């Protein structure tokens, strides 16, 4: 694997990941902009409207047919929250020329061309987006927003986050708010889109068998020529802004069979480098089948099928997640708290550290086995003040000590305890 990053213009980066072991090319474009209440819904609707048609492929039907002809090249788009940023994501995956039944077709260039066209060259009317498309997509987005309740486990984590980050951008729902939809109009949204393209951080990733000519063809594309340099507004990883809810308990009722217990924890780091120690801490707490949570909540007490934790690096929070019988709330919470306490008292062994390291090292070593995880790794580095390549990341994990993990344990506090019951 060879990774190169090239600045096309200030604020617009091209990331080239050359790797010969895949059957596919994966191209992605990420537009990153600060998360805020004013624009969250407009940002959320943009991918949906852009996928409806471009200048040369003015209908969704035309796009679909074009991609189907390219041996089922698949387009995907979505919205993500990354720290205090909102990310608009666009992807196309296509087959490498080597595996086409009828030989060379220059699939990679074609794929790049299509994606640039969809993201940067939308179909318009009267200086705005197509009205019909917009109305349909408003309706679809409304449903996506309302669909938040459909996955109860996910919903519980979202709700816990909202309670932790009240009045803070990170509480915002990535798909936005129904009440904003009414006021979005085709001309205004188009104006907003043009403005966004002038200010947002743009990252273009090309993964596959990448030849040198690719750089040139992208830089010289009309889409890139139309974009101007910018000093993008986006927020880097920060150690500050930590929720201060001191263990508040929030309970809500819904039509569920199983209770979902979520604990939102703050991890008060002194510097960015400590995040790697926090990763190991999380792994011992609830990151694997050997973890304290899995062993004690599930295996010993038989209270849950799911009992785990995950570390959200961009906000320095850990979320503990247990699916339990509703009447076992107190019992489960007690056991979870005991595990946090044990971590604090250093009741974990060198062996626990070794096991955690092995698991994480394994995951790091497979980053370059998947195109999407490669892309996400390098994209993630864009937000770090201290960028590490995969090799450095590996070395850093190997250096984590028991003292360092114990130090993390002292910095962990329960911020919010959320319970979804019936």
The binding site for other proteins (CB under 8 A) comprises 20-24, 60-61, 64-65, 68-73, 93-95, 98-99, 101, 136, 139-140, 143-144, 146-153, 254-258, 288-290, 295, 298-299, 302-306, 323-325, 351, 355, 358-359, 361-362, 365-366, 368-371
Q: How far apart are CB 47 and other proteins at their closest, in Å?
A: 13
Of 65 and 191, which has the nearer Cβ to other proteins? 65
Token pair of 210, please?
């990448």
* 218 vs 324 by CB, closer to other proteins: 324
d(CA 99, CA 356): 39
Give the shortest CB-64-to-other proteins separation in angstroms: 4
Rounded Cα gap, residues 344 and 140, in angstroms: 47
Which residues, in sequence order, are CB contacts of 258 under 8 Å at separation 6+?
152, 323, 324, 325, 326
Q: 23 vs 228, which CB is nearer to other proteins?
A: 23
| Separation of alpha carbons 166 and 16, rounded Å | 39
User: Considering the complex, what minimum distance in angstroms separates the CB of residue 401 from other proteins?
Assistant: 18
Cβ of residue 211: shortest distance to other proteins, in angstroms? 19
> Toward other proteins, which CB reaches closer, 42 or 94?
94
Kindly give, in sequence order, each residue whose CB lies less than 8 Å from that of residue 284, ignoring residues fewer than 6 positions away: 291, 292, 343, 348, 352, 353, 356, 405
DSSP symbol at 168: S
Cβ neighbors of 44 (< 8 A, separation 6 or more) are 79, 86, 141, 174, 175, 176
CB of 305 to other proteins, least distance (A): 4
Nearest residue to 123 via CA among 60, 177, 209: 60
Cβ neighbours, 10 Å, residue 273: 13
Closest CA to 180 of 170, 171, 188: 188
Shorter beta-carbon distance to other proteins: residue 72 or 247? 72
Please state the closest distance from residue 144 (CB atom) to other proteins, in A.
Answer: 8
Name the minimum Å distance from CB 408 to other proteins. 21
Give residues with Cβ within 8 angstroms of 295, minimum separation 6.
Answer: none
CA-only gyration radius of the chain, Å: 23
Do 104 and 43 contact (CB within 8 A), yes or no? Answer: no
For residue 123, the number of C-alpha atoms closer than 13 Å in the C-beta half-sphere is 19
Residue located via tokens 């895949």: 22
Residue 219 vs 361, nearer CB to other proteins: 361
Residue tagged 């595996």 (tokens):
99
Task: Tell me whether residue 199 is exposed, middle or buried, using C-beta atoms within 10 angstroms of its C-beta: 0 to 12, 13 to 18, 19 or more.
Answer: middle
* 101 vs 391 by CB, closer to other proteins: 101
Query: Which of 46, 156, 31 lies closest to 86 in space, CA to CA?
Result: 31
21 or 167, CB closer to other proteins?
Answer: 21
Nearer to other proteins, 188 or 325 (CB): 325
Nearer to other proteins, 233 or 363 (CB): 363
Within 10 angstroms of residue 172's Cβ, the number of other Cβ atoms is 22
């Amino acid at each position: 694997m060879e990774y190169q990053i090239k600045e096309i213009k200030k604020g617009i980066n091209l990331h080239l990941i050359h790797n010969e072991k895949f059957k596919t090319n994966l191209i992605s474009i990420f537009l990153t902009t600060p998360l805020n209440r004013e624009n969250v819904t407009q940002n959320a609707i943009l991918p949906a409207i852009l996928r409806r048609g471009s200048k040369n492929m003015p209908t969704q039907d035309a796009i679909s047919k074009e991609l189907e002809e390219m041996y089922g090249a698949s387009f995907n788009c979505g919205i993500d929250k990354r720290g205090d940023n909102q990310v608009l994501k666009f992807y196309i995956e296509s087959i490498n020329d080597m595996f086409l039944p009828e030989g060379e077709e220059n699939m990679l260039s074609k794929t790049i061309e299509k994606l640039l066209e969809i993201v940067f060259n939308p179909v318009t009317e009267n200086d705005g987006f197509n009205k019909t498309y917009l109305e349909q997509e408003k309706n679809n987005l409304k449903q996506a927003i309302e669909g938040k309740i459909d996955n109860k486990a996910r919903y519980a984590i979202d709700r816990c986050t909202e309670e932790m980050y009240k009045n803070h951008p990170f509480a915002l729902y990535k798909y936005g708010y129904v009440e904003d939809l009414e006021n979005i109009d085709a001309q205004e949204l188009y104006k907003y889109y043009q403005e966004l393209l002038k200010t947002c951080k743009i990252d273009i990733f090309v993964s596959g068998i990448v030849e040198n000519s690719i750089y040139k063809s992208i830089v010289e594309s009309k889409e890139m020529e139309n974009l101007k340099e910018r000093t993008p507004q986006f927020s880097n990883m920060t150690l500050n802004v930590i929720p201060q809810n001191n263990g508040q308990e929030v309970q809500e009722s819904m039509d569920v069979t199983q209770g979902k217990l979520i604990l939102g924890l703050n991890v008060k780091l002194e510097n960015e480098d400590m995040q790697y120690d926090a990763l190991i801490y999380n792994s011992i707490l609830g990151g694997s089948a050997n973890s304290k949570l899995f062993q004690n909540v599930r295996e010993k007490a038989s209270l849950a099928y799911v009992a785990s934790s995950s570390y959200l690096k961009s906000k320095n929070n850990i979320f503990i997640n247990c699916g339990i019988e509703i009447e076992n709330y107190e019992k489960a919470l007690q056991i979870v708290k005991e595990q946090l306490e044990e971590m604090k008292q250093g009741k974990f062994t060198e062996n626990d550290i070794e096991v955690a390291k092995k698991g994480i090292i394994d995951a790091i070593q497979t980053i370059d086995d998947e195109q999407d995880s490669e892309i996400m790794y390098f994209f993630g580095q864009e937000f770090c003040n201290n960028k590490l390549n995969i090799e450095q990341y590996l070395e850093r994990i190997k250096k984590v000590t028991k003292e360092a993990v114990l130090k993390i344990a002292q910095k962990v506090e329960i911020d919010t305890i959320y319970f979804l019951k019936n």
